[in-house]
Amino acid sequence: MADENKKYTRSKVEIPILLDEQTHPIDTSKLGKPGEFPFTRGVYPNMYRGRFWTMRQYAGFGTAVETNKRFKYLLEKGQTGLSVAFDLATQIGYDSDHPMAAGEVGRTGVAIDSLYDMEVLLDGIPLDKVSTSMTINATAAILLCLYIAVGKKQGVPSEKLTGTIQNDILKEFISRGTHIYPPKPSMRLITDIFAFAKDHTPRFNTISISGYHIREAGSTAAQEVAFTLSDAIAYVEAAMKAGLDIDDFAPRLSFFFAAHNNLFEEVAKFRVARRLWAKIVRERFGAKNPKSMMLRFHTQTGGSTLTAQQPENNIVRTAVQALSAVLGGTQSLHTNSFDEALALPTEKSAEIALRTQQILAYESGVTDTVDPLAGSYYVEYMTDELEKKIVEIMDEIDRLGGSVQCIETGYYKDEIARVAWEFQQQLEHDEMVVVGVNKFQEDQIEVPSILKIDPNLEQKKVEALKEMRSKRDNPAVEKALTALRQAARGSDNVVPLILEAVEAYATVGEISDVFREEWGEYRDSR
């Protein structure tokens, strides 16, 4: 029987009823100064006193035309960066007219088939002034090349483009599932992007190593950081094995975490993630450049914490979660809309989510000083205890052979399933309260107005794709795809050849199919 007088976080960190100098003396050597190793207190000396985090609302649905309108709406409302959601077909390399895309076109994000769609998506948006994050993984190299090609058409050289591609394929095998190729060629694509970007897109973050989807799948905060940093180690090792120097690519690595409801555990999680990564990059990989040691991260509030019951309560949940990200020192932030347990956000709910960030930035006072919770007995205790839990998990992953091996054996999936089941049991036995779900329920459920996708969208998109194919220079497309196939069979960097293909208006599906035919598709055998 558990001691009823004791209280724990989901990461199994015990929460004392009182902390003070006697129970948890603060080790100031672990803190350092903001902007200095080990970056516990933040990656920049003045943090939000210099500039706020980037307010980057995730958006995308239907066609490029509709999403372009939503981007412009959010920018007019004060958003400071773009974040693109792609539909499932785009994410797994199928064109809108492919049988596998049926019923999915434009449903969970915007449908992008070719450079034509990307031009429409970014029409009227100055890429030399706006940074763009793209949540794309298996087809990340293709979407990056589409973005570069649009920049060229705008007269913006690739060296001036700013933004991020998620490009984190390992977590797709762990938790999300939008992988295409087996792990080895998937990792080759990523290291090819690293090498290409070093010379051609030096201001673009070439990967956003993501704990968000691991957390949304049911992991604890400690697992989220441990699995994410272990994936990051695998990427660094692959890049160095491919001949890249750590200080050539590590400054462009970025991270992506979730913010859930336990305010202080989340703040501590962000602080310890920075501290651990700084030590790993310096001590394990021998980095000399301080920028290589900085863990810069985007945060999204917890989609899995949102409830269909009493959806307006989600506004409060999102505000608390966003507060943890800001107190934890995030570099950019997406706040979920209150209706996302029901549908994609409406314009109004997206505006409320953005306003939540703006109120935190301009009205709350939490941005006035750097790391305002530093020195709190509780926050420092939680940071130290989480560090112990995270290191313990990472040591186990190393013992088992590293991230790729743990994916192949199913270790990650098994561990997430175990703790997710434990959490569900706590809910069902009322050991954990979710307001409006297992406590303070209401008999009547009011459903707010929700966004509905045009049922004729898919057919219109298929017709537009057919017209585009009829107008392009098809011999040029075939030539570009043949050159890409040869590179895929060998060891040459494929990214320049992808760029040539997209500029000839080869589609996402056509390029992905070249790799499918050469590398095969991944099937989970467990």
Q: Which domains does the chain have, with CATH numbers?
A: 48-428 (3.20.20.240)
pLDDT at 526: 64
Least confident window among 15-24, 218-227, 253-262: 15-24
Residue 1 pLDDT grade (very low, low, confident, very high; cuts 50, 70, 90)? very low
pLDDT digits (tens, 9 = 90+) for 384-419: 999 999 999 999 999 999 999 999 999 999 999 999
Residue 27 pLDDT grade (very low, low, confident, very high; cuts 50, 70, 90)? confident
Q: Contact, 32 vs 40, CB < 8 A?
A: yes
pLDDT digits (tens, 9 = 90+) for 330-342: 999 999 999 999 9
| SS3 at position 403 | helix
Cα–Cα distance between 389 and 489 in angstroms, integer? 43
Residue 4 pLDDT grade (very low, low, confident, very high; cuts 50, 70, 90)? low
Q: Contact, 164 vs 498, CB < 8 A?
A: no
Q: Contact, 31 vs 40, CB < 8 A?
A: yes
pLDDT digits (tens, 9 = 90+) for 270-317: 999 999 999 999 999 999 999 999 999 999 999 999 999 999 999 999
Who contacts 56 (Cβ-Cβ below 8 Å, separation ≥6)? 79, 80, 81, 82, 83, 131, 133, 298, 332, 333, 334
Cα–Cα distance between 330 and 267 in angstroms, integer? 10
pLDDT at 251: 95
Which tokens sit at 194? 């690293």
pLDDT digits (tens, 9 = 90+) for 415-437: 999 999 999 999 999 999 999 99
pLDDT digits (tens, 9 = 90+) for 355-378: 999 999 999 999 999 999 999 999
Strands (DSSP E) found in 275-419: 297-301, 332-334
Cα–Cα distance between 186 and 166 in angstroms, integer? 13
Please name which of 164, 149, 153, 156 lies closest in space to residue 128, comparing C-alpha atoms: 156
Strand partners, 202: none
Cα–Cα distance between 423 and 428 in angstroms, integer? 9
Phi, psi of 329 (to 5 degrees): 90, 35
pLDDT at 463: 97
Strand partners, 315: none
**Count of C-beta atoms within a 10 Å radius of residue 397:** 22
- Maximum Cα–Cα distance across the chain: 76
CA 78 to chain centroid, in Å, comes to 22
| SS3 at position 254 | strand
Answer whether residue 235 shows pLDDT above 80. Answer: yes
Q: Contact, 396 vs 389, CB < 8 A?
A: no
